[in-house]
Amino acid sequence: MSRRVGMEVAIAAAEAVALCNIDVAAVYPITPNTHVAEHLAEIVAEGRIDSEFITVESEHSALSAVLGAAGTGARAFTATSSQGLLYMQEVMPIASAMRLPVVMVIANRALSGPLNIWNDHSDIMLQRDTGWISLFAENGQEVVDMLIQAFKIAEHREVMLPVNVNMDGFQLTHTVEPIELPDQAEVDRFLPEYKPYATLHPDRPVTMGAFAMPEIFTEVMKAKDVAIVNAKKTILEVWKEWESLFGRRYEPVAAYKTEGAEVVLLTMGSMGETAEVAIDELRREGISAGLLKLKLWRPFPFEELKKAVKGVKVLAVTDRAVSYGGPGGPVCTEIRSALYDEPDRPVIVNYIIGLGGRDVTVEDFVTMGKRALEAKTKKSREAYKFYGVRGE
Amino acid sequence: MIEVRWHGRGGQGAVTSVEILAVAAIEEGKYAQGFPSFGPERRGAPVAAFNRVDNKQIKIRSGIYHPDAVVVLDEGLVGLVNVAEGLKPDGVLIVNTSKTAKELQKAIGFKGRIATVDATAIAREELGVPITNTTMLGALIKAIGIVKMDSLKSPIAHRFGRLAQKNLTAAQRAYNEIRLSA
């Protein structure tokens, strides 16, 4: 039986990973993911799980060690944030090209400089094209659930890709909140033992991560793309199974009061629930507002998004990262592109919010909803707008 | 929903207090959040930590700007930090001090309710150290009844092990000795 506990989300993340009976973890702690690493190290040291915790000297080594372990058939895990994730970046596309199903939790944090340890999505956005499946959690419960789901998705024979689970640094990692923690028997029933496709073994030599000449490189890249596109089917199956076992529903694009809504906000990550409160407030004021919450970033859920915005007049997409000199925030850019060929696409406005830990309140989402509605009638619209800039 | 802000100095255990309070509320079947002021903390520097407690799911994840109660672990922060900032007019300010509410009122400029308790003296007697975080939990519970005193037992036992009983006694004394102004 699951038990309802009050627990810091970073600690709960480590507990979820322990429930998955990992064989190897290699983590270099960095704020705000430190408690994940510390607590997992404690769990291993106490002998609660039979795992190797490798204390590496850098994040580059952490992901490399985890890949090596996965190559031998181990279930392997790592965690990082921000600069640490950038330091891993060189190894990120290697993980997906080698089709090694490692799982990583990212405590999302801004990138330096100026030095800032607080939350936004700049770190993961720079990893967008590394071929990893990318999930975004909205609360502590989703962090726990998605981490357990992540191993099942990653290791599925039809997928065999690395998965990262994104949890907002501090807003999630450092908050104590109620969480239903599944028990070992429940997780064991859901998550079977990892059966690797191929393993490194001195008696049965294989090559992993070989050199590829121009004659074959394109084909390998296409294979990776096909694999991640096809992974959506497995992700949906895993989420369906999760719902039947645990009663909690997961969707690539979750909707809140969007039925017949004139203006719809879109968030990714922990701001979703705060935005829900703003939707209720807007509706009290007589504005027909709704909210979409993107939970699956890669593979991008094109069909689900198109369905979700049917009939919506104005879509206000929030982004927590910047594409400097580009067409808008990374999430909005994807959404505009996804909807370009739709005959009755909504007017799309883009707000850059919550950079480097800037708080975004219910009142801010209410304001964004109202401004987005006004934008509907304007002839020329800005492609994107930094919301709440001081002095503006 | 009840929102609480804690003021202390790095190392005085404000973050531990919000964790214990959140866990106590959750174990009562309520919904709660406990979180620090996000960012780096330095021993001795002023810090804040926060709680939300409600009977229904808490969705808001932004900061707390208008708390229902403020707890001050270290009297030395009064005047250094605006401890009453944003405190609701009908809210309560709970200060660890040997002074009276009247004496404090002038220094703080808060016209609402002020409650005082000499938590440092209690902590010295019961714990042997002037660490007042668990003591002040008792004061907060008496002032606003956010959770039952009994509900502190499990999270304090989990956190303090063999020192749990001393911390519970200190909290109970603050519960009994707090002076609430009308």
ipTM of this model? 0.96
Q: Which residues of B touch A10 (CB under 8 A)?
A: none
Q: Please state, as a whole number, how many other Cβ atoms lie within 10 Å of the Cβ of residue A226.
A: 10
**Alpha-carbon torsion, ordered A257, A259, A262, A266, to 10 deg:** 50
Amino acid A78: pLDDT: 98
**A323-361 residues labelled b (16+ CB within 10 A) or e (exposed):** eeeeebbbbbbbbbebbeeeeebbbbbbbbbbbbbbbbb
Specify the amino acid at residue A42. Answer: E
Exposed e or buried b for every residue in A191-217, given b needs 16+ CB within 10 A?
A: beebebeeebeeeeeeebeeeeeeeee
Amino acid at A269: G
A123 token code pair: 């770190």
Q: Which residues of B touch A357 (CB under 8 A)?
A: 38-39
Name the minimum distance, in Å, from the CA of A272 to any CA of chain B: 9
Please identify every stretch of chain B with a pLDDT value under 50, giving residue numbers as ranges: none
- Mutation target for A interface from B16, B52, B61, B151: give the one with most A CBs within 10 A: B61
Is the CB of A270 inside 8 Å of chain B's CB atoms?
yes
Closest C-alpha among B58, B145, B124 to residue A273: B58
The single-letter DSSP state of residue A270 is: T
Q: pTM for this one?
A: 0.97
Q: What pLDDT score does B182 carry?
A: 57
Biggest CA–CA distance in chain A, Å, is 71
- CA B67 to each of CA A6, B48, B92, B157: distance values in angstroms, whole numbers, following the listed order: 21, 12, 9, 28
Structural domain harbouring B46: 2-180
Alpha carbons A337 and A334: distance in angstroms, whole number: 5
Q: Are B38 and A171 a contacting pair at CB < 8 A? A: yes
At A217-269, the pLDDT tens digits run 999 999 999 999 999 999 999 999 999 999 999 999 999 999 999 999 999 99
Task: From residue A285, give the alpha-carbon distance in Å to each of A260, A361, A369.
Answer: 16, 17, 12
pLDDT attached to residue A233: 98
Give the pLDDT of residue B41. Answer: 77
Burial degree of A307 (CB within 10 A; 0-12, 13-18, 19+): exposed
| Nearest chain A residue to B23, by CA | A6
Assign A240 to helix, strand or coil.
helix
Q: Which residues contact A201 (CB under 8 A, 6 or more apart)?
A: A72
Collapsing DSSP to helix, strand or coil, A269 comes out as coil
Whether the Cβ atoms of residue A308 and residue A339 lie closer than 8 Å to each other: no
Cβ contact (<8 Å) for B61 and A175?
yes
Most distant CA pair in chain B, distance: 41
Residue A209 contacts B where some CB pair is shorter than 8 Å: no
Q: What is the pLDDT of residue A25?
A: 98
> Measured between alpha carbons, how far is residue A72 from residues A65, A157, A345, A368, B15 in Å?
11, 16, 48, 50, 42
- Among B62, B66, B158, most A C-beta atoms within 10 A, so best to mutate, is B62
What is the pLDDT, as a whole number, of residue A376? 82
- Give chain A's residues under pLDDT 50: none
CATH number of A253-386: 3.40.50.920
Please list every residue in chain B whose beta carbon sits closer than 8 Å to the beta carbon of residue A257.
none
Q: How many Å apart are CA A102 and CA A70, to the nearest integer? A: 7
Instruction: Specify whether the CB–CB gap between A207 and A37 falls below 8 A.
Output: no
Q: In terms of DSSP H, where are the helices of chain A?
A: 9-19, 34-45, 59-71, 82-88, 92-97, 122-125, 140-155, 184-190, 214-246, 272-284, 302-308, 330-339, 362-375
- Chain B residues with beta carbon closer than 8 angstroms to that of A7: 23
Place of tokens 């939350």: A119
Total number of domains constituting chain B:
1
pLDDT tens string A171-212? 999 999 999 999 999 999 999 999 999 999 999 999 998 899
| CATH 3.40.50.970 in chain A, residue ranges | 3-246
The CATH number given to whatever domain includes residue B24 is 3.40.920.10
- The CATH number of A3-246 is 3.40.50.970
A39: chain B residues, CB-CB within 8 Å? none
- Look at B60 and A274 and tell me if their CB atoms are within 8 Å: yes
Pairwise CB contact (< 8 Å): B61 & A274: yes
